[in-house]
Structure formats: C-alpha cells, structure tokens
C-alpha cells in the first residue's frame, strides 16, 4: 500500500491522523475565538467603517468555520467552498510618521476605542492565519487540508484590510528609510542564473 492510500474500507470521516485531530480542534477553536472576540469588540466600536469591516469579516469567518466543520466531520468535499475574501478598503498606504501621543494600557474597558479594537482584530487575524498555514501542511485528510490551506490567503487579505484601516487613521504608521538607503536595499539583490543542479 502506497503512503497516499488509506486502508480499504476506511470511511472518509475517519481518515485523520492523531496529530491532525488535535490540530483540527485547535483551528476550529481558533475560529470560534475570533468570532467570540469580534462579538465583544463590536460593542466598543463607534466608527462605522470599522464596524462594517468587523461585520463583513465576522460573516466570512463564520462561513469558513462551517465549511471546515463540515469537511472535518464528514471527510468529504463540503456543500460549498469559501469564496475569496474581498475587502472594501482601497490599497492606498500613507507613508511617514506624524507625532502622536505615547501608547499606554487602558485603565478600564470603557477606554476601549477604534485604535485598540482594530489592533486586537489585526492580532487575532494574523495569528489565526499563521496557525492555518502551519496546520495545513500536517493535515492528512485531503479535503480538510485543502479547506485549511485555501483559508490562508483570505486571512492575509483580512489582516491587510485591518492594516489599511489602521494606517488610514494613523494608528499603524509606516516609516520609510532615507531615499539613498532605500535604493541601496532595493538594489541589494540580482537575478539568479537559471542553471540546473547536477
């Protein structure tokens, strides 16, 4: 039996390795964590743009969670696949630093604001995307592996959407190097020769 075959008669929902079961539980719990935390964040958002991002991402993650649960429990292709996440922000990034107040921890939950909430959202989405990428390479069930792997670019897009929101409001500033330093760094690599290894 090759290492790509499963034992004869094994039902699709049982073709999981032991390590994979723990990873799948971690991923599904991670999706739940994002959804639960987004519910908590929602009550602290006044800005309608951030609220729209949160609601759009909440709906998308809910669908991804349901697709993953279906693939995990049945071992079969889910009833529908996740569509690529489409953000509503434009790609304009503001470069440079502007003076701002030093950051410090809130003294109470009443001090939560869009800067803090969007920072928490970004952290959640980035860490979940990293978890998905690490987990996808160790999933033995081909259907579940594809569902998890296909979710990675969507979490990248969601994180980028939050970054753009933060950058627009100067919460996430993007410093640049001096032009001569930037030029030297950009020109620091050359194409490789297309040699074949012998």
Q: Tens digits of per-residue pLDDT, 158-183?
A: 999 999 999 999 999 999 999 999 99
pLDDT digits (tens, 9 = 90+) for 13-55: 566 667 788 899 999 999 999 999 999 999 999 999 999 999 9
Phi, psi of 96 (to 5 degrees): 100, 165
Mean pLDDT of 114-139: 96
pTM: predicted TM-score of the whole model, two decimal places:
0.88
Query: Does residue 7 sit within a domain?
Result: no
Query: Does residue 140 sit within a domain?
Result: yes
**Rounded CA separation 41/35 (Å):** 10
Query: Does residue 48 sit within a domain?
Result: yes
- Here the CATH number for the domain that contains residue 137 is 1.20.1260.10
pLDDT averaged over every residue in the chain = 90
Looking at the predicted structure, is the pLDDT value of residue 9 above 70?
A: no
Domain that holds residue 164: 18-89+113-186
% the chain with pLDDT above 70: 91
Query: Does residue 98 sit within a domain?
Result: no
Looking at the predicted structure, is the pLDDT value of residue 198 above 50?
A: yes
Residue 56's alpha-carbon distances to 48, 52, 89, 97, in angstroms, are 12, 6, 12, 30
Query: Does residue 2 sit within a domain?
Result: no
Query: Does residue 36 sit within a domain?
Result: yes
Query: Does residue 101 sit within a domain?
Result: no
Query: Does residue 8 sit within a domain?
Result: no
Q: Do 16 and 131 form a contact (C-beta atoms < 8 A)?
A: no
End-to-end CA distance of the chain: 32
pLDDT for res 172: 95
Number of domains in the chain: 1
pLDDT for res 66: 97
């Amino acid at each position: 039996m090759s290492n790509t075959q499963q034992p004869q008669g094994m039902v699709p929902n049982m073709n999981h390795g032991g390590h994979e079961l723990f990873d799948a539980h971690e991923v599904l719990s991670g999706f739940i964590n994002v959804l639960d935390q987004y519910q908590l964040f929602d009550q602290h958002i006044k800005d309608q743009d951030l609220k729209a991002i949160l609601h759009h991402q909440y709906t998308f993650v809910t669908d991804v969670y349901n697709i993953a649960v279906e693939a995990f429990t049945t071992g079969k292709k889910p009833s529908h696949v996740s569509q690529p996440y489409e953000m509503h922000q434009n790609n304009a990034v503001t470069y440079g630093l502007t003076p701002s107040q030093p950051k410090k921890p809130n003294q109470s939950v009443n001090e939560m604001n869009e800067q803090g909430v969007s920072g928490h959202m970004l952290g959640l989405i980035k860490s979940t995307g990293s978890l998905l990428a690490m987990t996808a390479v160790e999933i033995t069930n081909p259907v579940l592996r594809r569902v998890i792997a296909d979710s990675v670019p969507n979490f990248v897009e969601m994180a980028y959407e939050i970054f753009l929101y933060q950058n627009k409001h100067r919460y996430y500033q993007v410093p640049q190097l001096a032009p001569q330093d930037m030029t030297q760094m950009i020109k620091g690599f050359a194409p490789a020769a297309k040699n074949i290894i012998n």
